[in-house]
Structure 1
Amino acid sequence: MRRYEIFDGFRGFFLIFMAIAHFDGLLRTWVGVVHHKNFGWVEDAQGFVFLSGLVAGMVYGRRFLAHPSVREAFGRVFARARQIYAHQVTLILLALGAAFALGTRAPVDFQPYLDAPVTFTAGSLLLVSSSANMGILPMYIVFLLVTPFAMKLLHRDMVAPYFALVILAWLAAQTSLTGKGMYALENYFIAEGIPARFGLFFNMLGWQALFFSGLFVGFRFTEGRLNLDFLDQPQFRVTFFIALGGMTLLGIFDLIVEFRLLGEGYTERMLLRSPRAVLGVVYPIAFLIDLFIVVWLLRNGATDPLAWIRRLSAGVNWFFTRPALVLLGRHSLHVFTFHIIVYYALAALLSFYSPSPMGRELLLVAGIASLYLCAASRSWWLARARPATV
């Protein structure tokens, strides 16, 4: 299958800014203040999960359509899930080893491994727990294992049941009952005298809505049935301008909440009404608005009567097909894993060393640069291992 560079470019962009957000949580640099995650209730993790589903629908959908068997498809996705699980296990064991090596000097990100080493490590290996910034890979593993059954529904044109299940699961997440169940299990172990820490930073029932929406798009694209001609209607050009206004208003609202401009009480109420962990209602709405803007702009913007829209369309297409972004996106699993290693290495370093403000900026730049080193090294290794053609 021909790779679509712009998808890799978007994934590379999301990886960079996820890493910046995570590294800045430790370093507190000026870049973190101007990060786009603070404008509009749309974060890089949302785009990354959606695109992961879309690419899965394209890659595994093509193979499924050639041999429409759930058993065969499960074998293929299981191989990929096993590879991702190996990355997750590596991260868990590295964090566990580092926590014990640091001992009393261990920063807060390592504490779960010290507070409840057996239950937390076991929970992490069973994909029901994770430490800071390690929640995406467990989600992706579970979503991949469900993918063959999802593709079977789509192949049978059972679109309504497909999205009914997606919506029902998302609604179940909004109850937060799964989180309460994990806390109850944690408290049970503690009452029995066993230190315990459970819970993921992402509720899978909520975040699956992004992955399986992306899977639907990718699968329909592979079938040759993704028809976006309806976007040529004049009403959707009007909708584009409305969506731009909506994105701007949501961005302003996000800043109001982020900087607590209307007081602590209002801010807390808003955060409780739309929690990120379960993909509360503001997040998917804001994501759909941004997704519509990008899709319409890339598809229709190049021929729009307004010159600034044509230039914006060309600029978006140019930016997200830059080789630097495409390289990162093409090796997204390894880059994501490596950025977690860099994050925990930074956390360990900062427990011994207090850099100057300029030193913190330089550490952030070095951390981002290291992602390119990871991607370039893997690209070189794969090219070296590829048989030479005559």
Structure 2
Amino acid sequence: MFALIRQDRDLRVDFFRGLALWIIFVNHIPGNWLGLVTPRNYVLADATETFVLLAGYAAGLAYGMVMDRQGWAFAASRVMGRVFTLYVAHIFLLVVFTAQVGYSAERLDTHAYLDELQLDPFAREPYRALLEALLLRYQPSFLNILPLYVVLLAMFALAMPLMRRTWLLLGASAALYAATRTFGWDLPSWSGEGWFFNPLGWQLLFFIGCALGYRPPGGGAPLAVPYRRSLVVLSLALLAAGVVATQLLYFRWDVAEQRLPATVARFLAGIDKAAMHPMRLGSMLALTYLAAHFIPRMAAWLRGRAAAPFVLMGQQALPVFCAGIALSFLGRVAIEVSDRWAMQLLVNLAGPALLVLLAALTAWYEAEKRAGRRGAAASAAAGLAAVPAAPGAAIPLPAPARGDSG
């Protein structure tokens, strides 16, 4: 496993992205006992916020370098190529998930799955549902993260040149966020209720990640928030407030309604996830600040056995995410058959083990492709050097092989 992990990256990013993928798998299984210990029960931020922020960081880092070397047009074309890949992955996952849930509902003689996962439109209006799904206007439950990512990357392709003027990028993003929350802007959906994850609100978190990931050319200093004790205290206070709000909002709403002032109760009720409420945004940024300053980039434990499965999954995020959605539904069916400790143990060991295995196979395949490209380049260079020069012509020298930077 260790040989498959690429060490030329910030392993903190890969570790937390892999951890987010594991949390998504756990949280998508109703009745899973491990769901009681995931962050959504304790802070106003969860795996989705982590995933979006780190996606922005990776985009700013990777595509920012491509833009600075080869220009905005080429970099934007690379981003749109990734958008297409994500769109195809979403449609493939939609087909697999719909077939999986529909078959299970028929075999178990229950329509609860279709209603709860919002797949019943395929039974009522299958052709219209398929069209709306292709247009991303219809997103069943658990299938709304990739459409969000598709739109955010498409917005990034247009806004990419603004990374060179970081504060202009963040200012424009913050203005769009404020207008979205003030005027209720959203993208259209088939139901008329807007997107489950409103890209016009979530884009601020994504572009903050882009600004943190971008490395200016010529050795310029990237955006960074320096260590300050006051900021540490502020971050901890914000997280503490989020813990209290989470408990009241999701577990003790009766206390909030009966004992808190009406204005406070209304504020708590308004903490939404759809358009990234400021409390959720602040909680995610507080967690990021603390992690960035208290977890060194070269921390030894990131290269240890315990972290390796999460790092490997984080480096192969797309296939692991898609497989995790399908496996989580199988885990749900299994736990509904029996929720005793033996089945809980089986689901929570077998599911992640399969995800790690998939990540390992994907990493191995990518490593073989890179090795093949390097071998082909070396063979071409050797063949060029072996060609005899014409009389009086300069002897061509092979260029040094360029290391893979993907």
Fold similarity call, TM over 0.5: yes
Q: Write out aligned runs for 1:181-260 (5 A).
A: 182=189, 186=191, 199-220=194-215, 224-227=219-222, 231=226, 236-260=228-252
Helix, strand or coil at the partner of 2:214:
helix
Structure 2 SS opposite 1:40? coil
User: In 2, distance between residues paired with 1:246 and 1:99?
Assistant: 40
**What is the distance in 2 between the residues matched to 1:221 and 1:9?**
25
Is 1:363 equivalent to 2:366 in the alignment? Answer: no
Pick one of 106, 128, 134 that aligns with 1:125: 134
Does the 8 A contact of 1:240 with 1:296 survive in 2?
no
Cα deviation digits, residues 67-102 of structure 1 (max 9, x gap): 223x22221112111111111110112233345544
Q: 1:50 to 1:66 in 2, by over 3 A?
A: same
Contact kept in structure 1, 2:137 and 2:188, CA below 8 Å: no
Q: Which structure has the larger Rg? A: 2
Shift of 1:360: 3.4
Distance 1:74 1:261, change over 3 A: closer
- Secondary structure of 1:231's counterpart equals coil
> Contact 1:130–1:199 (CA<8 Å) still a contact in 2?
no
Q: What is the match of residue 354 of structure 1?
A: 337
After superposition, the Cα gap between the structure-2 partners of 1:274 and 1:176, relative to the gap in structure 1 and judged at 3 Å, is: farther
- Contact kept, 8 Å, 1:54 with 1:217, in 2: the verdict is yes
1:9 maps to 15
Q: Distance in 2 between matches of 1:214 and 1:90?
A: 28
User: Which has the higher mean CA deviation after the structures are superposed, 160-169 or 48-57?
Assistant: 160-169
Q: Any stretches of 5+ residues in structure 1 without a counterpart?
A: 188-197, 303-312
Displacement of 1:372 in angstroms is 0.8
Task: Give the distance between the partners of 1:214 and 1:334, measured in 2 at CA.
Answer: 22
Match of 2:50 in 1: 47
TM-score of the superposition, structure 2-length normalised? 0.77
Aligned partner of 1:373 among 344, 347, 357: 357
Q: Does 1:296 align with 2:293?
A: yes
Task: Quote the Cα distance in structure 1 between the aligned partners of 2:284 and 2:265.
Answer: 22
Which of 168, 174, 181 is 2:181 aligned to?
174
Contact 1:112 1:131 in 2 (8 A): no
How far residue 178 of structure 1 moved from its aligned partner, in angstroms, is 4.5
- Alpha carbons of structure 1 residues 261 and 245: separation in structure 2 relative to 1, 3 Å: same
Post-superposition offset of 1:240 = 1.5
**How has the CA–CA distance of structure 1 residues 48 and 100 changed in structure 2, closer, same or farther, with 3 Å as cutoff?**
closer
Mapped pair 1:105 → 2:115: no
TM-score normalized by the length of structure 1: 0.80
Preserved CA contact (<8 Å) 2:138 2:191: no
Which of residues 131, 134, 137 is equivalent to 2:146? 137
Structure 2: 5+ residue stretches without partners = 1-5, 379-406
- Per mean C-alpha deviation after superposition, the further-off stretch among 111-120 and 260-269 is 260-269
Letter in 2 for 1:72: F
1:383 counterpart = 2:367: yes
Distance in 1 (CA, whole Å) between partners of 2:37 and 2:93 is 29
Measured after TM superposition, the shift of residue 131 of structure 1 is 1.0
Give the aligned residue type for 2:358.
Answer: C
Range with bigger deviation, 285-294 or 242-251: 242-251
Tell me the number of residue pairs that the alignment of Structure 1 and Structure 2 aligns: 355
Task: Return the structure number with greater helix share.
Answer: 1
CA distance in 1: counterparts of 2:218 and 2:120, whole angstroms:
48
Mark the CA change 1:123 to 1:67 in structure 2 (over 3 Å): closer, same or farther: same
Q: 1:64 to 1:227 in 2, by over 3 A?
A: closer
Matches within 5 A, 1:8-157: 8-23=14-29, 26=30, 28-69=31-72, 71-101=73-103, 102-103=105-106, 105-106=110-111, 107=113, 108-109=116-117, 110-155=119-164, 157=165
Shift of 1:12: 0.8
User: 2-side partners of 1:78 and 1:91: how far apart?
Assistant: 20
In the alignment, is residue 330 of structure 1 matched against residue 330 of structure 2? no
Q: What are the superposed Cα offsets for residues 209-251 of structure 1, whole Å, 9 maximum, x if unpaired?
A: 111111111124676434578725xxx1243134224323422
Aligned residue for 1:105, secondary structure, equals: coil
1:281 paired to 2:278: yes
1:34–1:344 Cα change, 3 Å: closer
Give the CA RMSD over aligned residues.
Answer: 3.1
**Deviations, residues 267-305 of structure 1 (Å, cap 9, x unaligned):** 973453111111112111111222221222236xx9xxx
